[in-house]
Amino acid sequence: MRLAIFGLGRMGANMARRLSRGGIEVVAHNRSPEPIDALVAEEDNVIAAYDEDQMFRQLEEPRIIWLMLPAGPITGQTIDRLLPRLRPGDVLVDGGNSRYTETIRHAARVEEAGVHFLDCGTSGGVWGLKNGYSLMVGGSREAFAVIEPAIRVLAPSPDSGWGHVGPVGSGHFTKMIHNGIEYGMMQAMAEGLAVLRRKKEFDLDLAQITELWREGSVVQSWLLDLTAEALRSEGQSLDEIRPVVADSGEGRWTAIEAIDLGVAAPVMTLALQMRFASQDDEGYGNRVLAMMRNAFGGHAVERGRQEGDS
């Protein structure tokens, strides 16, 4: 089997490596040549494609092009550019984190041309090369059958960690909700560890505690494994880590979707809001709260200019 991976960031490049090591030929294309060169040098089943013409020449019909690009305009523009060159029966896979509503719009114009479109929600991060990826695929069963051999190689095992979950859009929708759940799990774990650390008189070793929770505890998980390992390697004070947590589009989209559907999702929504709070260097809202408290209750206000104030 041969397919193209278009976009060789951390996820796309490692997916290409796993496919290659599983015996699937990968036509590797990227905007900059360095990731292509690295893959060709490291892997036996990788074929370089330094431009789109070269990528198309290296593929046989039905051609499979798997996009691993940032969500938004880049993905849309790439689909617009590739579509006139695709033929009926070809398969275009969006393996990035596109919003499912955009995915449905992309699919409509792709499938109108007779080209199959699949959306593949992909989880696994930097560990996917070693452990495999969790793959949630939306689209027709006919198109899914074409890429199933690659799915079985990318997944943690040929028979687990992957599935055709529904029609076009359902793969990205499922991955979006997955990431919303992830936000809530991360927030709960972080809050619990913060409470443990604040209990100074017990002098608790958080690296030890998270390590012992990894075996037999109801909260044992891969997320806990990563946390325990980080506390052991970084030190539990985490002095070198800035308390700023980025948020992806998927966390926001999950909260919006819950509101639109009238589903109570306070944990996922609050976890998102806490990430916003961590990004607020100005802290203006809290300054207003301190002023209000002083105004009605006479409570003291801590004064002084913070670094970055103007």
* Integer angstrom CA distances of residue 250 from 15, 96, 99, 216, 308: 21, 11, 7, 31, 30
Listed as own residue / partner, the contacts of 160-167 with beta carbons closer than 8 Å and 24 or more positions apart are 161/132, 161/133, 161/134, 161/135, 162/133, 162/134, 162/135, 162/136, 162/137, 163/135, 163/136, 163/137, 164/137, 164/138, 164/139, 165/136, 165/137, 165/138, 166/138, 167/138, 167/139, 167/140
* Residue with tokens 């505890």, as numbered in its chain: 217
Residues 6+ positions from 123 with CB-CB distance below 8 Å:
133, 134, 136, 175, 178
Is 182 one of the catalytic residues? yes
* Integer angstrom CA distances of residue 206 from 188, 197, 218, 223: 15, 7, 17, 15
Token pair listed for 59:
């593929």
Catalytic residue among 182, 211, 234, 257: 182
Catalytic residue among 60, 142, 175, 257: 175
Sheet containing 64-67, strands listed edge to edge, beginning at the edge strand earlier in sequence: 46-49, 25-29, 2-6, 64-67, 91-94, 116-123, 134-138, 162-166
CA pair distance 264, 171, nearest whole angstrom? 22
Burial of 214 per CB tally in 10 Å (0-12, 13-18, 19+):
middle
Token pair listed for 301:
């206000």
Is 199 one of the catalytic residues? no
Question: At residue 124, what are phi and psi to the nearest 5 degrees?
Answer: 155, -25
List active site positions.
175, 182
